[in-house]
Structure 1
């Protein structure tokens, strides 16, 4: 394992990818598994998931820790203050902040050595300084799978996905997994997909199927109709495709009436994770962040 600091964009210079069979003669391009880390409990859980994914895919794991440049700049002002989770207010001091960042990088390095190396996963830690979305997006290629946690400090504001993570999720060129530990009753290796009903959902369903690991299968598809639209499941090309490729999967046509309704349906399917396209009407129709936060499962958002 190596740890390094690189300028923005340096991660694009060398690409190591592989191909695997995706079924029916389909070839799936496999890139790296990239995980964003900040030494928080949520990001350490995301690291565990990323290592498991990299081991299954025989892929390289890139761990990225970004030292927030704007925060360091703020610490240079004598009037700067920080508010802890307890509500205590204290001066924001540059030296203490630098030391905290070094400690976080060391904690990440130690966690990688203890978890990735025993699995035989090729891995690298990159420490960068700048703005988190910019640094992360500069490293990513369409074939990479990005993993991030439902980040902790945002919960103090009633949110479960941080603003930086949300910006990356919307702009990443490839799939992004927003990781949350699945509920204990979830059945291993089951994958649910949320799509738009009709022909537009077929492409999203095919993209989701291409991301399946060899021991995974689609177990449920929630086909969302616009309010007032009549479900015509028999005429839906996505349903015909599902019946041919995954005949055991459940087809669930619904009229979308909010993220909570979709979350309740998915909770009843015993899926291990959920896949949804960020271009889907259901993501546009509702507050997309509300939908992702409502799902108490790992959510893979595909372009």
Structure 2
């Protein structure tokens, strides 16, 4: 399991969630902090300035300042990670790399790795739009990506999985939904695209794959793929998790980003 840390509160909330999952699954935990090279390059220009997010005051933006700031964030991330996984000690828990965040993370991530990160970074406010790093990693990561939200705790509800007409992708999404359901003891809702028919044979196969009794599964056919409609349906289901494949046509539609922004809940994106 890879935990991407950037010093933001959301990334530390994602760390806590990742450590909990690792404790339940026995996965190895590996933290990653990337010193963004483009930020350092920008600071190298004599005319560079930064504006305080609270004060609004413009001040010099230089390389030495950014270096010190990044070092503090890395040290803090290392301390928090060591405290969260005390049995591992303070050894090779945190990898510090310098480069472009997405490139460095993809160089470490394998198809069997779960990548856990906050849905927004240090430069965004909680509940804001989906961060650019998160958007890129959703599209390009070879394995699963868990986008964690800014809520303090995830309410008990239902695991909602969005299915498509891509059988292999659906199988991976259902397998992941089953894992989450078993860990959390929560029932599952299957969302189908409009005008999709689910035969009894297919429903029985889904029940078998999910390992959930018929009483623990609810199937809903969406009236449309409008992001607002999907978000409303997910809320009606009192979802605590949303599982969706990156192969799902939902991600090929303009409304994918607004949908993920509107849903302030953990989203597991599967291959």
Report if TM-score (shorter chain) is over 0.5. yes
Match of 1:178 in 2: 147
Which has a greater percent of strand?
A: 1
The correspondence for 2:197, drawn from 220, 226, 232, is: 232
Q: Equivalents in 2 of 1:65, 1:72: separation in Å?
A: 15
Tell me how large the CA RMSD over aligned residues is: 2.7
The correspondence for 1:265, drawn from 233, 241, 251, is: 233
TM alignment of 1:131-170, pairs within 5 A: 131-153=100-122, 155=124, 159-170=128-139
Q: Give the C-alpha shift of residue 185 in structure 1.
A: 7.7
Distance of aligned partners of 1:286 and 1:257 in 2 relative to their CA distance in 1, 3 Å threshold: same
Match of 1:203 in 2: 168
State the TM-score, normalized to the length of structure 2. 0.86
Contact kept, 8 Å, 1:219 with 1:249, in 2: the verdict is yes
String of CA shifts for 1:86-125, please: whole Å, max 9, x gaps.
2322110111111101100111011112211169999710
The correspondence for 1:102, drawn from 71, 78, 98, is: 71
Q: Equivalents in 1 of 2:25, 2:126: separation in Å?
A: 36
Q: Equivalents in 2 of 1:278, 1:116: separation in Å?
A: 30
Q: Equivalents in 1 of 2:152, 2:206: separation in Å?
A: 26
The correspondence for 1:116, drawn from 85, 102, 125, is: 85
What secondary structure does 1:296 align onto?
coil
Q: Give the C-alpha shift of residue 158 in structure 1.
A: 8.5
Identify unmatched segments of 5+ residues in structure 2: none
Q: Equivalents in 1 of 2:153, 2:86: separation in Å?
A: 27
Match of 2:254 in 1: 286
Q: Equivalents in 1 of 2:206, 2:261: separation in Å?
A: 27
Distance of aligned partners of 1:122 and 1:54 in 2 relative to their CA distance in 1, 3 Å threshold: farther
Distance of aligned partners of 1:158 and 1:149 in 2 relative to their CA distance in 1, 3 Å threshold: closer
Q: Give the C-alpha shift of residue 181 in structure 1.
A: 4.9
Distance of aligned partners of 1:46 and 1:123 in 2 relative to their CA distance in 1, 3 Å threshold: farther
Match of 1:35 in 2: 3
Contact kept, 8 Å, 2:243 with 2:269, in 1: the verdict is yes
Matched, 1:128 2:97: yes
Q: Equivalents in 2 of 1:181, 1:157: separation in Å?
A: 6
Q: Equivalents in 2 of 1:276, 1:106: separation in Å?
A: 34
Contact kept, 8 Å, 1:208 with 1:275, in 2: the verdict is yes
Which has a greater percent of helix?
A: 2
Q: Equivalents in 1 of 2:204, 2:249: separation in Å?
A: 21
The alignment covers a number of residue pairs equal to 262
Q: Give the C-alpha shift of residue 232 in structure 1.
A: 2.6
Contact kept, 8 Å, 1:133 with 1:168, in 2: the verdict is yes
What secondary structure does 1:215 align onto?
helix
Q: Equivalents in 1 of 2:79, 2:9: separation in Å?
A: 14
Matched, 1:255 2:223: yes
